Each structure stands twice: as C-alpha cells, then as structure tokens.
Amino acid sequence: MLLTDFVLHKSFTSSEFDGVTAMEIGAGTGLVGLAHARVARRIFITDRGTDILDNCLANVRLNSSMLKFDEAKVLVRELDWKLSWPPPVGTRDASDPSSIYLWSASEIKEAEQATLLFAADVIYSDDLTDLFFDTVRQLMSSGAKKVMYLTLEKRYNFSLDELGVVANGYKHFRSFFTVLDGCGGQDNATLKPGLVGEQIDLAMVPQYIREYDRGKDLEMWKLMYWPD
C-alpha cells in the first residue's frame, strides 16, 4: 500500500511515470501495477504460481473500468526468481490454462526496455532475497537504464547469536547495494559496480490509502544499477 501511495502521488503530481514501460516484481495482488496502469504505456505484473497469477489477472479485469485503464497494456506473466532473468520462452497451449502466463521472445525484449521496476514486501527470507537480487541485477543490466522503487517492512526476530531482537533479514537486504550519501550523490570513482540505493523520506509521500498503518518499520528505497 505504501508503494501504491507513491505511484499514485507521482501520477497525480508529475508526468514522470507517464507513458513508460514498467514491471512489478513479486506482485502478489498486483495492486502497484494496477495503480501504475492508469498512466503507463505497458506494465508487466509478475509473480510465481498459477493461483497467484490467476488472482492478478482477475484483479486486472475487475478494476480496469474503475481505474480507467486499457487491459491490453497490462501483461500478467510468471517470473520465477530461481530461474533468474531472462525467463524461459514458452508456447501457448489451449489445453493448459496456465500457459497464458508464459513469455514470448518479443515480450522479454520489451520488458528489458522497461525503465521502471516496482517491488513491495519481497524482503522476508534471506534465500529469497538472494534470488530476488540476482534476478534484479540481471534485469537491470539488460536493455534500457532502469530505476527500481522498493518498499519493505523490517521484520524482527530473537537471535541467539545476538541475544536480542534483531532484523537480520534487513541487514542482509542492505548488503546488496551501496548507499548514496545524504545529498543523493557520490563520487563516481568510489562507486563499485552493482546496485546503488537512496532511501526515500516517507514524509514526502502522502497517504492516500487509509487502510494501513505506516508505523516506524516501513522503508522505501530507490535502487539503480551501476555498470561494470
């Protein structure tokens, strides 16, 4: 919901997200992608598993009229992080309903020209975080220059090693990118190849959706890929 608030705010106050190709990774219900579909040229809503993808597709069809977007510019596709990027090319089979979520070669090329990536609440398991960032790095290093907006909630657990409550998953997440300085910049010579990140001040994102509490453990990051 936080990332959806951000997308809505961008669409209400600027044209930055208008007419672009974007992808939501680990979409769940597809809420963020649906919000962006109002102004996007193309939005890929991706996740893994037929049940989840069926639900995403149902949400596209249920909300296109209310949100006033063309269903044809929203593609629901399977993206399994275990297979990284690019996904396998598949052939539609009328006897297999799940085949509608397979990628064509042209769709992969189109997705690689996306300039915006979205991911919300995908950081909760170190193993999945490894797979997620491997997929993101492969995708962001292909095709057009991309920016990813990611939201997460810190999850705390008791650690025997630390003898206290810690957010180990969050520490693991932060290990995947270099943080830009407070001014949003850094000497290019000091940047290592890979991902760089800048935390977004949530006070700058109005809360349009009232059905959630932001609390103190929600964060939003802007991530970019710094090439070799």
Written as tens digits, the pLDDT of the chain (228 aa) is 999 999 999 999 999 999 999 999 999 999 999 999 999 999 999 999 999 999 999 999 999 998 889 999 999 999 999 999 999 999 989 889 999 999 999 999 999 999 999 999 999 889 999 999 999 999 999 999 999 999 999 887 655 555 566 667 898 999 999 998 654 444 444 455 689 999 999 999 999 999 999 989 999 999 999 876
Q: pTM of this prediction?
A: 0.91
Enumerate the domain spans of the chain.
Answer: 1-226
Tokens of 29: 């219900």
First to last CA, the chain: 34
- In terms of CATH architecture, what is 1-226? 3-Layer(aba) Sandwich (3.40)
The pair of three-digit structure tokens given for residue 70, joined into one six-digit string: 């063309």
DSSP states of 42-58: EEEEEESSHHHHHHHHH
